[in-house]
């Protein structure tokens, strides 16, 4: 059976309606109970007063919900005994009192239902406006990125052709091979970025992701680009519920940086503390100038989205990144 996915705006409308409905219901319950208590106290005070007045004259005018009767009430659901004067019973019409309570409740609903609808409408329109603006901004950024990607893709295609021609002419020259390897990494990053942008079009739900297999696959891929570097792996089966595109992007950026900036070796190991896991990426430091830090910023952004944590331990000879998986 296909799962029906509700729009964010509709979920928000339902949530606001529920919150306001529950809030008004609580306020109404307190208000009606308070009014009922005050009304019953008023009726009791009136009953005490009329008992004193009726001692002087039984013809004293009373409200319609009071009656002086020489007999017990025939219907106790309608009439209650609230006093006794000269052998006669002072009766209270309970239904008349309840009518006043019902009128009060109806007056509350008459005023609150339009207020509730208007409040929900105003809040919904306001939040929906900001959601639409966010979507438009997202689409604009995506459009600029795709335009840039199109131009970059054309440039990479020309470079690939040039590299192939140089290899055919000069053979397996080491500088040309390093250039080809660098190009392959850039092309892989470019394709990965395009896939990530395409994934943003659909707000995917979190799914069970096997981290160990993704790490092994990425290590094999980058080891093919850097075959002269030693790779040590010690992993555990790690399964987490998360957005797969974000997980793959985080792991690729971490492993790519480890290979790029290492001198001789890369080590990836996993440990477990209760229900939590830690992935540790260690590499020695090569004679390579540091990057712009954009990759690290991207990693931090994606980790915040995933709800994970990260600790960095730099030193003169090693660079260690601990990825906390919750």
φ/ψ of 88, rounded to 5, equals: -110, 155
Residue 4 has pLDDT above 50, yes or no: no
Q: Which residue has the higher pLDDT, 131 or 291?
A: 131
How remote is the C-alpha of 41 from its chain's centroid? 49
Residue 258 has pLDDT above 80, yes or no: yes
194 within domain boundaries: no
DSSP 3-state assignment of 249?
Answer: helix
85 within domain boundaries: yes
What's the pTM value of the predicted model, to 2 decimals? 0.55
* Same-domain check for residues 124 and 19: yes
Task: Give the model's pLDDT for residue 197.
Answer: 63
Residue 120 has pLDDT above 60, yes or no: yes
Range of weakest confidence among 83-97, 113-127, 250-264, 291-305? 291-305
Q: Which residue has the higher pLDDT, 2 or 249?
A: 249
Hunting for tokens 């990426």 — which residue is that? 281
Span 227-257, pLDDT tens digits? 889 999 999 999 999 988 889 889 988 998 8
Task: Give the model's pLDDT for residue 213.
Answer: 93
Mean per-residue pLDDT, 195-204: 61
Helix (H) or strand (E) holding 203: none
140 within domain boundaries: no
- Pull the structure tokens for residue 117: 């609808």
Closest CA to 156 of 74, 262, 164: 164
Domain termination residue (choose one: 130, 163, 191) = 130
Residue 160 has pLDDT above 60, yes or no: yes
Mean per-residue pLDDT, 55-81: 82
Q: How many CB atoms are located within 10 Å of the residue 180 CB?
A: 19
Query: pLDDT > 70: what percent of the chain?
Result: 87
Task: Give the model's pLDDT for residue 5.
Answer: 52
Task: Give the model's pLDDT for residue 108.
Answer: 85
221 within domain boundaries: yes
Q: Which residue has the higher pLDDT, 203 or 66?
A: 66
Helix (H) or strand (E) holding 316: none
Closest CA to 43 of 93, 108, 117, 113: 93
Q: Which residue has the higher pLDDT, 162 or 90?
A: 90
Task: Give the model's pLDDT for residue 2.
Answer: 46
DSSP 3-state assignment of 55?
Answer: coil
Range of weakest confidence among 21-30, 137-146, 245-254? 137-146
Domain termination residue (choose one: 88, 106, 130) = 130
Mean per-residue pLDDT, 25-46: 90
Residue 162 has pLDDT above 80, yes or no: no
42 within domain boundaries: yes
Q: Which residue has the higher pLDDT, 173 or 84?
A: 84
* Alpha-carbon span 151 to 148, nearest angstrom: 5
* Alpha-carbon span 140 to 151, nearest angstrom: 17
* Same-domain check for residues 212 and 323: yes
Hunting for tokens 């929906």 — which residue is that? 128
14 within domain boundaries: yes
Domain that holds residue 304: 205-326
19 within domain boundaries: yes
Q: How confident is the model at residue 216 (pLDDT cuts 50, 70, 90)?
A: very high
Q: At what angle do helices 211-225 and 174-200 cross, to 10 degrees?
A: 150
**Number of domains observed in the structure of the chain:** 2
Domain termination residue (choose one: 99, 130, 161) = 130
Closest CA to 281 of 253, 229, 235, 320: 320
249 within domain boundaries: yes
* Same-domain check for residues 15 and 112: yes
* Alpha helices per DSSP H over the chain: 8-53, 94-170, 174-200, 211-225, 244-261, 294-306
Query: pLDDT > 90: what percent of the chain?
Result: 17
Residue 288 has pLDDT above 70, yes or no: no
Range of weakest confidence among 5-14, 25-34, 193-202, 295-304? 193-202
User: Which sign does the torsion angle of CA 3, 5, 6, 12 carry?
Assistant: positive
Task: Give the model's pLDDT for residue 291.
Answer: 57
Task: Supply the mean pLDDT for the chain.
Answer: 82
Task: Give the model's pLDDT for residue 1.
Answer: 44
Residue 3 has pLDDT above 60, yes or no: no
* Alpha-carbon span 184 to 178, nearest angstrom: 10
């Amino acid at each position: 059976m296909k799962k029906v996915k509700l729009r964010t705006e509709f979920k928000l409308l339902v949530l606001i309606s529920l919150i306001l409905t529950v809030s008004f219901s609580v306020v109404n319950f307190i208000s009606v109970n308070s009014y009922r208590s005050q009304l019953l106290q008023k009726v009791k005070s009136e009953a005490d007063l009329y008992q004193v007045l009726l001692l002087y004259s039984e013809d004293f005018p009373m409200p319609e919900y009071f009656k002086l009767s020489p007999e017990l009430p025939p219907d106790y659901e309608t009439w209650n005994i609230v006093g006794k004067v000269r052998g006669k019973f002072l009766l209270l019409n309970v239904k008349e009192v309840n009518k006043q309570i019902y009128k009060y409740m109806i007056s509350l609903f008459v005023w609150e239902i339009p207020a509730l609808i208007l409040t929900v409408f105003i809040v919904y329109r306001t939040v929906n406006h900001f959601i639409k603006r966010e979507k438009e901004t997202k689409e604009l950024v995506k459009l600029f990125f795709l335009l840039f990607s199109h131009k970059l893709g054309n440039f990479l295609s020309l470079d690939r052709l040039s590299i192939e021609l140089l290899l055919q002419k000069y053979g397996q020259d080491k500088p040309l091979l390093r250039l080809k390897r660098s190009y392959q990494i850039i092309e892989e990053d470019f394709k990965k970025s395009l896939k990530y942008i395409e994934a943003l079009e659909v707000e995917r739900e979190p799914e069970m992701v096997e981290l160990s297999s993704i790490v092994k696959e990425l290590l094999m891929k980058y080891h093919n680009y850097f075959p002269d570097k030693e790779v040590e792996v010690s992993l555990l089966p790690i399964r987490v519920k998360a957005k797969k595109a974000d997980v793959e992007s985080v792991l690729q950026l971490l492993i790519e940086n480890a290979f790029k900036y290492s001198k001789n070796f890369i080590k990836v190991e996993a440990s477990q503390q209760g229900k939590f896991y830690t992935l540790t990426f260690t590499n020695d430091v090569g004679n390579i100038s540091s990057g712009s830090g954009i990759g690290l910023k991207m990693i931090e952004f994606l980790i915040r989205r995933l709800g994970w944590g990260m600790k960095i331990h730099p030193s003169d000879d090693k660079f260690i990144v601990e990825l906390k998986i919750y």
